[in-house]
Chains A and B, each alone.
Chain A
Amino acid sequence: MFRFVMRRLMWALPMTLIITFVVYVALRVGTDPLASYLRVNQRASEKKIQQYIETNGLYEGFGGYVRGYLQWLQGFVTFDWPRSIKGSREVWPEFRDAMFNTLRLGLTATFLGILIGLSFGIFVALKPGGLRDATVSTSSFVAISTPPYVSALLLQLLFAVYWSKWFGQSLLPTSGVYPPGHRGFDLVLMIKHMILPVTVVVIQVVAVYARYMRASLLEVLNSEYMRTARSKGISERRVLVRHALRNALIPIVTVAAIDIGAILGGLIITERIFSYPGLGDFFLGAYDNGDFPQMMPWMFFFTLVVIAFNLLADVLYAVLDPRIRLG
């Protein structure tokens, strides 16, 4: 097992480098960082342009790409990040804040969503075909087919706009991480501001995972080893927990690990509607300006997230399912 994990880890490093290099080249070719710089800085002096080229390693030719990439990578890991093309702002502090905001929102929502989704899935799988099953299946279908911006707007209307019309004060905030003008850290306020955006994401995640868990658990419940387990005379709880749930969770855990990256990347719309300053906004701004120094860290981050969670999925799968441990 240890060797398996080590070998995967050893793989992950070159994979990260290769993928980020490909991303780097794609951005270099696809967005032409120098052209974007010149478009944004119409009257930049020759000296400034040269400086921009050098700090960003925008050398030409394949050799130049490799050199530029290595230079970028070195700067990246030593936190010596080139400044944004617009306003020459430091990229790391803004990226860091956005990243924490997104991670906080995304991970909370994923975690809650999966937890609730699995519970619903179990709840209906234990009594399939009944009213309970139909209710949950229908509502998860509705939830899946409701685009997040619709549910977001509905929630905003209900808990903020109409609530304040009816009761004189809104129940939940619709925008930001804190109320406008707030300074410092405040857990309660932060949670309050996360409730609606988290709910929007949770609705989707719950729907997906409820269906997924239902299918997976039903399959396990109908398997023959469940009959064997029951024939042993062990308690029904033990049969469900040790034999059914554990096995039903295996495919889900691995999918969930991969999903987290997708959910984080998919927060863009939710973040926009809730004016939530996360990586979604960060990327849209960077992309609009063709801001190479801002886009690269974003790309790198998501490459890392995807690779890390894929690795985690592989490892978890191997840990949980002995049949996969091929070494």
Chain B
Amino acid sequence: MSKKTSKVLAFATGVALILAACGGDDGDSGSEASTPASEAPATEAPAADCGPDVLEGGAGGAEGDAAMKITFDISPDAVWQDGCPITVADFQCSVNATLNTPGSISTTGYDKIISIEAGESSKQVVVTFNAVYAPYKLLFGGLIQASAVADCNDISGDFASLNQVSGREWMMESFSPDQLVYVPNPNYWGDAPTVERVVAVPFADFDTQSAALLAGEVDFIYPQFFAGISDALSDANVTSKIDFGGDYEGFYLQADPARGGPFSDPIFREAFAKSIDRDAVFEQIYIPLSEGKGKLLNCGPIVPGQYCDEAFADQFDPEGAVALLEANGWTKNGEGYWAKDGNAPTIRWIINTGNTRRENTQAFLIPLLQAAGFNVVADNCDAACYFQQRLPALDYDMAMYISTAPPDPAYLVSSFTCAQIPSEANSQQGQNSTGWCNEEASALLEKSDVTVDEAERAQLVKDALKLMAGDYVMLPLFQFPKSGFWRTDRLAGPVDAELNNYRAFNNFSKWEDVDGDGQIVLGAEQWPECLNPVTECANSSWMVWLTAFPILPNVWDTTNDGKLVITNLVTKEPVVEIL
């Protein structure tokens, strides 16, 4: 996978993530990078000035009647790195920062909040929404400390060189283009980390990070998986874990009727989709790629779990395709292509040039499809053109790319509902790049977004996916393996426990430093360019993995099997009331 690709994925991921990660940072961004923690007085008494427990202006601001209310009980032990308690003010500040900071990456969900107020005390947070919002567990992640920023409504200038806020195990000691250093947060109220320091260092590519791992300069790397990776890293002291995460690849067919492409005709689209032998593609492309570890994906734009019922299986039906076309007035023309009214559509298949896997897929599939009567042509361009121009502009007939499925299915609403097709109405900002509009499915998905009951919600999602499968806009292909490699002479403990997690290797506070050098060194394949957790800085997975998750408190964390569970920030599962 090219770096660009992964960035794009990361962005898709990021949007959801940021929902989870929005939050605070330290205040004085100009502070010197080297001595972050020095002011933090030891555990007990909060420093004199912790700021107000409740913000004067409140938070939120959505119009309308209250439709949902969530009550959070913050742990009485929960304090920031400076000993100040985590209170409703911090929730308020975080939400305001996400909503109002210029350049904030996404306000989804937060824009439904009418108000955030203190309940019985400043340790109880009452949030009211103007609509039922089912993916609420993605909210209130990555909280920032209200007293650490000058203006909760604009934190775009904060955290430019260091983020000294912490409500978790770690505190950021330094951040620069060549390394990031964490030390334990002395005021953390949960289990203290077992390691004295965690250092992350950047690498340009796989070759350099593998050399560093093999040479013992880093203890752990989390590289993009590829065939042969285990051989490349074979060493007596290196071990690995291959797992499956949320990354999946699929074919997408441009269905938007407004664009008038060949696939805006549902009959033609269905026949085309039925002519694609996904099993053959899997055998040909993905088996060699995955060291035999991958699986053909049948869930749709989602990975196996509670929302998947294999609705996309067995779509390959070449005879059915022929019958369907013939029944609808299509005939093969002189060149052997299906034509209707003398018109044989050309199908433009786009991928990013230089991506070998996708180029191989084209080379394999195009002749087969042509033989089946579809005039498919490769219409490729470089990654920037593909992901930043052609895809958002829906300027393709068939596409192939990787996405990351977050643990909550809320992203399906923004990616596959009618209202999200780029249009005047949404100032061309809509994210439905397949142009698929099925009113019934949209209604189901939108309903899933406001259905809090888990089982009911899952059923809505499954029903919508079933409709999607029947409309043949997307053909899932493959769930990608994830890989972590580490040195057994340096690291021990549950290193392999969370590699499938959306939060990746974020359990490193439980890892053991067995070589006794007092630190764990992580090699980073991508390097966060900046630290601000609500602005454009936060659009990559590596950014949140490295610079947000270890320090910023969340109400909910994801688990290795894709569930969302409460953290020690709250004393009990927040109470959701539908009004």
Contact = CB atoms under 8 A, between A and B. Distances in A.
B26 to A, nearest CB: 14
B212 A175 contact: yes
Interface string A284-319: 010001000000000000000000000000000000
B208 A42 contact: no
A14 B307 CA distance: 67
Contact of A156 (B102, B211, B519): B211
Interface stretch (A163-171, A216-224, A240-248): A163-171
Contacts of B202: 275
B235 interface: yes
A163 B102 CA distance: 52
Nearest to B219: A180
Interface in B508-544: 519, 521, 529-532, 535-537
A60 interface: no
Contact of B216 (A48, A97, A164): A164
Given A165-B235, A175-B203, A97 B176 contact: yes
B102 A94 contact: no
A175 B221 CA distance: 14
A154 to B, nearest CB: 11
Nearest to B527: A285
Contact of B104 (A43, A89, A177, A277): A43
Contacts of B181: 181
A161 B176 CA distance: 27
Given A86-B529, A87-B160, A169-B216, A277 B203 contact: no
B530 A87 contact: yes
A40 interface: yes
Interface in A67-93: 83-84, 86-90, 93
A44 interface: yes
B216 A170 contact: yes
Contacts of A177: 178
Given A94-B177, A181-B199, A275-B208, A87 B532 contact: yes
Contacts of B201: 175-176, 180, 275
A88 B207 CA distance: 31
Nearest to B521: A180
Contacts of B462: none
B536 A41 contact: yes
Nearest to A48: B102
Interface residues of B, number: 42
Interface in B192-250: 197, 199, 201-205, 207-208, 211-212, 214-218, 235-236
Interface residues of A, number: 47
Contacts of B103: 41-45, 48
B204 A272 contact: yes
Nearest to B429: A42
A170 B535 contact: no
Nearest to B174: A183
Nearest to A271: B204
A190 interface: no
A273 B181 CA distance: 22
B204 A273 contact: yes
Contact of B156 (A48, A93, A156, A169): A48
A87 B537 contact: yes
A160 B201 CA distance: 17
A180 B529 contact: no
B530 A179 contact: no
B521 to A, nearest CB: 4
A277 B532 CA distance: 22
A157 interface: yes
Contacts of A39: 388
Q: Which of A39, A42, A94 has the most CB of B within 10 A?
A: A42
Interface string A117-137: 000000000000000000000
A18 B104 CA distance: 39
Contacts of A148: none
B178 A88 contact: no
Nearest to B103: A41
A169 B215 CA distance: 7
Contacts of B178: 176-177, 275, 277
A180 B536 contact: no
B102 A45 contact: yes
A26 to B, nearest CB: 20
A289 B177 contact: no
Interface string B160-201: 110000000000000011110100000000000000010101
A282 to B, nearest CB: 7
B105 interface: yes
B141 to A, nearest CB: 19
B512 to A, nearest CB: 17
Given A47-B102, A84-B530, A90-B160, A40 B536 contact: yes
Nearest to A273: B208
A94 to B, nearest CB: 6
Residue of B104, B535, B536 with highest tally of chain A CB at under 10 A: B536
B214 A161 contact: yes
B217 A88 contact: no
B215 A285 contact: no
A161 to B, nearest CB: 4
Interface string A19-60: 000000000000000000001111111011000000000000
Given A44-B102, A94-B176, A164-B216, A157 B211 contact: yes
A173 interface: yes
B157 interface: yes
A98 interface: yes
A278 to B, nearest CB: 10
Contacts of B531: 87
A229 interface: no
B102 A41 contact: yes
Contacts of B216: 164, 169-170
Contact of A87 (B102, B208, B212, B536): B536
Contacts of B536: 40-42, 86-87
A174 B208 contact: yes
A194 to B, nearest CB: 14
Given A161-B214, A180-B519, A277-B177, A43 B105 contact: yes
A188 B24 CA distance: 40
A164 B157 contact: no
A83 B535 CA distance: 15
A153 interface: yes
A259 interface: no
A86 B204 contact: no
A181 B521 contact: yes
Given A170-B215, A174-B212, A181 B197 contact: yes
Contacts of B532: 87-88
A285 B537 CA distance: 13
B519 A181 contact: yes
Contacts of B521: 180-181
Interface string B380-404: 0000000010000000000000000
Interface of A: 39-45, 47-48, 83-84, 86-90, 93-94, 97-98, 153, 156-157, 160-161, 163-165, 169-170, 173-177, 179-181, 272-275, 277, 281-282, 285, 289
21 contacts: A48-B103, A48-B156, A86-B529, A86-B537, A87-B532, A88-B156, A94-B176, A97-B177, A161-B211, A164-B214, A170-B216, A174-B211, A174-B215, A175-B201, A176-B179, A180-B217, A181-B179, A181-B519, A273-B207, A275-B212, A277-B176
Given A83-B160, A94-B177, A161-B214, 4 more contacts: A39-B388, A86-B530, A176-B217, A180-B179
The 5 closest A-B pairs by CB, nearest first: A87-B530, A160-B215, A45-B102, A277-B178, A181-B199
